[in-house]
Amino acid sequence: MTYKGTIETDYQGEFIKPCPGTPLHVCCGYQIINFARGCTLGCNYCILDCYFGQERPTVFSNRGDLYHEVESALRDSDRFIRYGTGEFTDSLLFEKDYPIYDRLIPLFANQDRAVLEIKTKTVNVQPLLEMKERENIIVSWSLNSDYIARKDEARAPSVGSRIEAARKVQERGFKLGFHFDPIIHHSGWKDGYGETIALLFSSIDPEKVVYISMGTLRFMPSMADRLKRAGTGLELGEFVRGIDGKSRYFRPLRTRIYREVLSRLEEHVDLSRVYLCMESPEVWRDVFGIDNMDSQKLKERLDEACYSRFDGLRRPPYR
Protein backbone atom coordinates (compact mmCIF):
# COMPACT_ATOMS: atom_id res chain seq x y z
CA MET A 1 0.00 0.00 0.00
CA THR A 2 1.26 3.48 -0.84
CA TYR A 3 0.47 6.16 1.71
CA LYS A 4 -0.23 9.35 -0.18
CA GLY A 5 0.94 12.52 1.42
CA THR A 6 3.88 10.98 3.26
CA ILE A 7 6.74 13.47 3.58
CA GLU A 8 10.31 12.37 2.92
CA THR A 9 12.99 14.61 4.38
CA ASP A 10 16.48 14.50 5.85
CA TYR A 11 16.74 14.12 9.61
CA GLN A 12 19.32 16.32 11.31
CA GLY A 13 19.44 14.77 14.79
CA GLU A 14 20.66 11.51 16.26
CA PHE A 15 18.77 8.48 14.97
CA ILE A 16 19.30 6.43 18.15
CA LYS A 17 17.82 7.70 21.39
CA PRO A 18 16.83 6.08 24.69
CA CYS A 19 13.13 5.49 25.28
CA PRO A 20 11.94 8.62 27.10
CA GLY A 21 10.20 6.50 29.73
CA THR A 22 8.10 8.02 32.48
CA PRO A 23 9.46 9.61 35.66
CA LEU A 24 9.11 7.41 38.76
CA HIS A 25 7.83 4.51 36.63
CA VAL A 26 9.73 1.37 35.72
CA CYS A 27 11.31 1.58 32.24
CA CYS A 28 12.90 -1.29 30.32
CA GLY A 29 16.00 0.50 28.98
CA TYR A 30 14.99 0.30 25.32
CA GLN A 31 16.93 2.18 22.62
CA ILE A 32 14.84 3.68 19.81
CA ILE A 33 15.97 3.72 16.18
CA ASN A 34 14.05 6.68 14.83
CA PHE A 35 13.53 6.24 11.08
CA ALA A 36 10.10 7.93 10.72
CA ARG A 37 7.41 9.70 12.69
CA GLY A 38 3.66 9.61 12.53
CA CYS A 39 1.18 6.91 11.57
CA THR A 40 -1.83 6.45 9.31
CA LEU A 41 -3.58 3.63 11.21
CA GLY A 42 -5.69 6.18 13.09
CA CYS A 43 -6.15 4.32 16.40
CA ASN A 44 -8.49 6.40 18.54
CA TYR A 45 -6.29 6.27 21.63
CA CYS A 46 -2.99 7.00 19.84
CA ILE A 47 -0.79 9.42 21.76
CA LEU A 48 1.22 10.27 18.63
CA ASP A 49 -1.45 12.85 17.81
CA CYS A 50 -0.36 14.74 20.92
CA TYR A 51 3.26 14.61 19.81
CA PHE A 52 2.86 15.39 16.12
CA GLY A 53 -0.63 16.88 15.79
CA GLN A 54 -2.22 16.53 12.38
CA GLU A 55 1.02 16.75 10.40
CA ARG A 56 1.52 14.18 7.68
CA PRO A 57 3.69 11.14 8.42
CA THR A 58 7.37 11.71 7.73
CA VAL A 59 9.98 9.18 6.62
CA PHE A 60 13.62 10.21 6.91
CA SER A 61 15.42 10.16 3.57
CA ASN A 62 19.05 10.11 4.78
CA ARG A 63 18.87 6.44 5.68
CA GLY A 64 22.53 5.93 4.87
CA ASP A 65 23.34 8.09 7.88
CA LEU A 66 20.95 5.98 9.97
CA TYR A 67 22.65 2.71 9.00
CA HIS A 68 26.07 4.20 9.71
CA GLU A 69 24.97 5.36 13.16
CA VAL A 70 23.50 1.96 14.00
CA GLU A 71 26.60 0.16 12.73
CA SER A 72 28.83 2.39 14.86
CA ALA A 73 26.66 1.90 17.94
CA LEU A 74 26.74 -1.88 17.56
CA ARG A 75 30.49 -1.90 17.03
CA ASP A 76 31.30 0.34 19.98
CA SER A 77 28.85 -1.00 22.57
CA ASP A 78 30.26 -2.68 25.67
CA ARG A 79 26.85 -3.81 26.97
CA PHE A 80 23.80 -5.71 25.78
CA ILE A 81 21.18 -3.43 24.20
CA ARG A 82 17.65 -3.99 22.95
CA TYR A 83 16.84 -1.73 20.01
CA GLY A 84 13.44 -1.07 18.48
CA THR A 85 11.93 0.88 15.58
CA GLY A 86 8.29 1.21 16.66
CA GLU A 87 8.18 4.10 19.10
CA PHE A 88 7.17 7.07 16.93
CA THR A 89 5.60 5.15 14.06
CA ASP A 90 4.61 1.60 13.13
CA SER A 91 7.73 -0.39 12.27
CA LEU A 92 6.34 -1.93 9.06
CA LEU A 93 3.86 0.69 7.92
CA PHE A 94 6.12 2.21 5.24
CA GLU A 95 8.31 -0.81 4.47
CA LYS A 96 7.03 -1.44 0.94
CA ASP A 97 7.69 2.11 -0.27
CA TYR A 98 10.58 3.09 2.02
CA PRO A 99 12.41 -0.15 2.90
CA ILE A 100 14.90 -0.17 5.75
CA TYR A 101 15.11 -3.76 7.00
CA ASP A 102 17.06 -5.08 4.03
CA ARG A 103 19.91 -3.01 5.51
CA LEU A 104 19.05 -3.02 9.22
CA ILE A 105 18.46 -6.72 9.80
CA PRO A 106 21.86 -7.84 8.46
CA LEU A 107 23.55 -5.41 10.86
CA PHE A 108 22.01 -7.29 13.80
CA ALA A 109 22.19 -10.84 12.46
CA ASN A 110 25.76 -11.52 13.56
CA GLN A 111 25.72 -9.52 16.79
CA ASP A 112 26.33 -11.15 20.15
CA ARG A 113 25.18 -8.27 22.36
CA ALA A 114 22.16 -6.68 20.65
CA VAL A 115 18.69 -7.50 19.35
CA LEU A 116 16.29 -5.53 17.16
CA GLU A 117 12.55 -5.46 17.80
CA ILE A 118 10.22 -4.65 14.90
CA LYS A 119 6.88 -3.66 16.41
CA THR A 120 3.74 -3.40 14.28
CA LYS A 121 -0.04 -3.63 13.97
CA THR A 122 0.19 -4.34 10.25
CA VAL A 123 0.51 -7.54 8.22
CA ASN A 124 3.22 -6.09 5.94
CA VAL A 125 5.56 -9.03 6.54
CA GLN A 126 6.42 -10.10 2.99
CA PRO A 127 9.78 -8.27 2.97
CA LEU A 128 10.71 -10.09 6.20
CA LEU A 129 9.71 -13.45 4.77
CA GLU A 130 12.19 -12.87 1.93
CA MET A 131 15.09 -12.07 4.28
CA LYS A 132 17.93 -14.59 4.64
CA GLU A 133 19.02 -13.21 8.02
CA ARG A 134 16.73 -13.76 11.01
CA GLU A 135 18.99 -14.02 14.04
CA ASN A 136 18.62 -11.50 16.88
CA ILE A 137 15.36 -10.15 15.44
CA ILE A 138 12.08 -9.99 17.37
CA VAL A 139 8.97 -9.25 15.31
CA SER A 140 6.26 -8.01 17.65
CA TRP A 141 2.58 -7.27 17.35
CA SER A 142 0.34 -5.00 19.38
CA LEU A 143 -2.81 -6.96 20.20
CA ASN A 144 -6.14 -6.13 21.77
CA SER A 145 -9.56 -7.64 22.29
CA ASP A 146 -11.48 -8.09 19.07
CA TYR A 147 -14.05 -5.53 20.25
CA ILE A 148 -11.44 -2.79 20.80
CA ALA A 149 -9.64 -3.69 17.58
CA ARG A 150 -12.83 -3.22 15.58
CA LYS A 151 -13.99 -0.10 17.44
CA ASP A 152 -10.77 1.80 18.10
CA GLU A 153 -8.23 0.37 15.65
CA ALA A 154 -10.51 0.42 12.61
CA ARG A 155 -7.80 1.09 10.00
CA ALA A 156 -5.48 -1.60 11.36
CA PRO A 157 -5.75 -5.26 10.30
CA SER A 158 -7.93 -7.52 12.42
CA VAL A 159 -6.55 -9.33 15.43
CA GLY A 160 -6.80 -12.61 13.57
CA SER A 161 -4.87 -11.22 10.60
CA ARG A 162 -2.08 -9.97 12.85
CA ILE A 163 -1.79 -13.36 14.53
CA GLU A 164 -1.68 -15.07 11.14
CA ALA A 165 1.15 -12.73 10.10
CA ALA A 166 2.98 -13.66 13.31
CA ARG A 167 2.57 -17.33 12.46
CA LYS A 168 4.12 -16.75 9.05
CA VAL A 169 7.22 -14.97 10.34
CA GLN A 170 7.62 -17.58 13.08
CA GLU A 171 7.66 -20.29 10.44
CA ARG A 172 10.47 -18.42 8.69
CA GLY A 173 12.57 -18.59 11.86
CA PHE A 174 11.94 -15.22 13.49
CA LYS A 175 11.33 -14.87 17.22
CA LEU A 176 8.14 -13.12 18.35
CA GLY A 177 6.95 -10.56 20.87
CA PHE A 178 3.48 -9.33 21.77
CA HIS A 179 2.19 -6.19 23.44
CA PHE A 180 -1.22 -6.02 25.07
CA ASP A 181 -1.11 -2.26 25.24
CA PRO A 182 -3.34 -0.44 25.75
CA ILE A 183 -5.60 -2.87 27.56
CA ILE A 184 -8.93 -1.08 27.72
CA HIS A 185 -11.62 -1.75 30.31
CA HIS A 186 -14.92 -2.41 28.52
CA SER A 187 -17.98 -4.60 28.80
CA GLY A 188 -16.87 -8.21 28.38
CA TRP A 189 -13.19 -7.32 28.62
CA LYS A 190 -12.22 -10.51 30.44
CA ASP A 191 -13.63 -12.76 27.74
CA GLY A 192 -12.39 -10.44 25.00
CA TYR A 193 -8.75 -10.54 26.03
CA GLY A 194 -9.03 -14.21 26.95
CA GLU A 195 -10.25 -15.03 23.44
CA THR A 196 -7.38 -13.09 21.85
CA ILE A 197 -4.86 -14.95 23.99
CA ALA A 198 -6.46 -18.32 23.22
CA LEU A 199 -6.40 -17.57 19.47
CA LEU A 200 -2.79 -16.41 19.69
CA PHE A 201 -1.47 -19.57 21.31
CA SER A 202 -3.54 -21.84 19.11
CA SER A 203 -1.59 -20.35 16.19
CA ILE A 204 1.99 -19.77 17.36
CA ASP A 205 4.63 -21.69 19.30
CA PRO A 206 5.03 -20.16 22.79
CA GLU A 207 8.68 -21.24 22.82
CA LYS A 208 9.32 -18.75 20.01
CA VAL A 209 8.00 -15.84 22.12
CA VAL A 210 10.74 -13.73 23.68
CA TYR A 211 8.52 -11.52 25.82
CA ILE A 212 5.03 -10.09 26.24
CA SER A 213 4.13 -6.70 27.70
CA MET A 214 0.97 -5.41 29.34
CA GLY A 215 -0.08 -1.79 29.71
CA THR A 216 -3.45 -0.22 30.40
CA LEU A 217 -5.01 2.79 28.68
CA ARG A 218 -3.32 6.10 29.44
CA PHE A 219 -3.62 9.40 27.64
CA MET A 220 -2.70 13.04 27.94
CA PRO A 221 -5.52 15.14 29.43
CA SER A 222 -5.47 17.23 26.26
CA MET A 223 -6.71 14.16 24.40
CA ALA A 224 -9.94 13.88 26.40
CA ASP A 225 -11.87 16.40 24.30
CA ARG A 226 -10.74 14.75 21.06
CA LEU A 227 -11.81 11.34 22.34
CA LYS A 228 -15.18 12.75 23.35
CA ARG A 229 -15.74 14.47 19.99
CA ALA A 230 -14.88 11.24 18.20
CA GLY A 231 -17.49 9.42 20.26
CA THR A 232 -15.03 6.73 21.34
CA GLY A 233 -16.19 6.50 24.94
CA LEU A 234 -12.57 5.94 25.94
CA GLU A 235 -12.57 9.05 28.12
CA LEU A 236 -15.41 7.70 30.25
CA GLY A 237 -14.89 5.88 33.52
CA GLU A 238 -12.83 6.76 36.53
CA PHE A 239 -9.35 8.07 35.79
CA VAL A 240 -6.70 9.59 37.98
CA ARG A 241 -3.94 11.97 36.92
CA GLY A 242 -0.64 10.11 37.26
CA ILE A 243 2.70 11.55 38.26
CA ASP A 244 3.57 11.63 34.57
CA GLY A 245 0.58 13.89 33.89
CA LYS A 246 -1.31 11.19 31.99
CA SER A 247 -4.81 10.02 32.84
CA ARG A 248 -4.82 6.40 34.00
CA TYR A 249 -7.27 3.96 35.51
CA PHE A 250 -7.21 3.91 39.31
CA ARG A 251 -4.52 1.60 40.63
CA PRO A 252 -6.93 -1.10 41.98
CA LEU A 253 -8.57 -1.39 38.55
CA ARG A 254 -5.21 -1.57 36.77
CA THR A 255 -4.10 -4.27 39.17
CA ARG A 256 -7.28 -6.27 38.60
CA ILE A 257 -6.93 -6.01 34.83
CA TYR A 258 -3.28 -7.06 34.86
CA ARG A 259 -3.91 -10.02 37.14
CA GLU A 260 -6.70 -11.28 34.91
CA VAL A 261 -4.71 -11.00 31.68
CA LEU A 262 -1.65 -12.47 33.39
CA SER A 263 -3.67 -15.48 34.54
CA ARG A 264 -4.56 -16.17 30.89
CA LEU A 265 -0.98 -15.70 29.70
CA GLU A 266 0.58 -17.97 32.32
CA GLU A 267 -1.35 -20.89 30.85
CA HIS A 268 1.06 -20.64 27.90
CA VAL A 269 4.31 -18.87 28.91
CA ASP A 270 6.37 -18.59 32.06
CA LEU A 271 5.86 -15.29 33.84
CA SER A 272 9.53 -14.30 33.61
CA ARG A 273 8.79 -13.36 29.99
CA VAL A 274 5.86 -11.05 30.86
CA TYR A 275 6.31 -7.46 32.01
CA LEU A 276 4.44 -4.24 32.67
CA CYS A 277 5.03 -1.21 30.47
CA MET A 278 5.47 2.13 32.24
CA GLU A 279 4.04 1.09 35.58
CA SER A 280 4.96 1.93 39.15
CA PRO A 281 6.91 -0.33 41.52
CA GLU A 282 3.75 -0.57 43.63
CA VAL A 283 1.74 -2.07 40.77
CA TRP A 284 4.58 -4.49 40.02
CA ARG A 285 4.34 -5.66 43.63
CA ASP A 286 0.53 -5.93 43.42
CA VAL A 287 0.61 -7.96 40.19
CA PHE A 288 3.82 -10.01 40.29
CA GLY A 289 4.66 -9.96 44.00
CA ILE A 290 8.05 -8.42 43.21
CA ASP A 291 9.23 -5.87 45.77
CA ASN A 292 11.20 -2.79 44.78
CA MET A 293 11.08 -3.37 41.04
CA ASP A 294 13.13 -0.73 39.25
CA SER A 295 14.32 0.01 35.72
CA GLN A 296 17.61 -1.87 36.11
CA LYS A 297 15.81 -4.99 37.33
CA LEU A 298 13.37 -4.81 34.43
CA LYS A 299 16.22 -4.40 31.94
CA GLU A 300 17.88 -7.48 33.40
CA ARG A 301 14.58 -9.39 33.22
CA LEU A 302 14.14 -8.65 29.51
CA ASP A 303 17.84 -9.16 28.75
CA GLU A 304 17.56 -12.62 30.31
CA ALA A 305 14.49 -13.34 28.17
CA CYS A 306 16.60 -12.55 25.10
CA TYR A 307 19.57 -14.66 26.24
CA SER A 308 17.26 -17.64 26.74
CA ARG A 309 15.79 -17.43 23.22
CA PHE A 310 18.80 -16.49 21.07
CA ASP A 311 21.73 -18.90 20.94
CA GLY A 312 24.24 -16.39 19.60
CA LEU A 313 24.02 -13.82 22.38
CA ARG A 314 26.77 -13.50 24.98
CA ARG A 315 26.09 -12.70 28.58
CA PRO A 316 28.16 -9.99 30.24
CA PRO A 317 30.81 -9.36 31.36
CA TYR A 318 32.39 -9.10 27.93
CA ARG A 319 36.10 -9.64 27.41
**3-state SS of 146-157?**
HHHHHHHCCCCC
**CA-to-CA distance for 212 and 175, rounded, in angstroms?**
12
Please give the Cα distance from 300 to 304 (Å, whole number): 6
Question: What does each of the 319 residues of the chain score in pLDDT, given as a tens digit?
Answer: 334 578 999 999 999 999 988 878 999 999 999 999 999 998 999 887 666 666 789 999 999 999 999 999 999 998 999 999 988 999 999 999 999 999 999 999 989 999 999 999 999 999 999 999 999 999 999 999 999 999 999 899 999 999 999 999 999 999 999 999 999 999 999 999 999 999 999 999 999 999 999 999 998 887 877 777 767 788 767 788 888 888 899 999 999 999 999 999 999 999 999 999 999 999 999 999 999 999 999 999 999 999 999 999 998 876 5
Domains of the chain: 7-309 (3.80.30.30)
Taking the C-alpha atoms of residue 18 and residue 30, their distance in angstroms, rounded to an integer, is: 6
Residue 99: what pLDDT?
A: 97
Determine the straight-line distance between the first and last CA of the chain, rounded to whole angstroms: 46
CB proximity list for 228: less than 8 A, separation 6 or greater: 235
CA distance linking residue 81 with residue 293, whole number of Å = 20
Answer for the pair 34, 17: CB distance below 8 angstroms, yes or no. Answer: yes
Of 202, 188, 93, which is closest to residue 148 (Cα–Cα)? 188
Q: In sequence order, what are the beta bridge partners of 82? A: 115
Task: Note the pLDDT of residue 1.
Answer: 37
Per-position b or e across 92-107, b if 16+ CB within 10 A of its CB: bbbbeebebbeebbeb
Strand order in the sheet with 81-84: 16-18, 31-33, 81-84, 114-120, 137-143, 175-183, 209-216, 274-276
pLDDT of amino acid 110: 86
**Sign of torsion over alpha carbons 313, 32, 42, 59:** negative
DSSP bridge pairs for 239: 249
Has this prediction a pTM greater than 0.75?
A: yes
pLDDT at 50: 64
Close Cβ partners of 45 (under 8 Å, ≥ 6 residues apart): 152, 182, 184, 217, 219, 223, 227, 232, 234
Chain CA centroid to CA 289, Å: 24
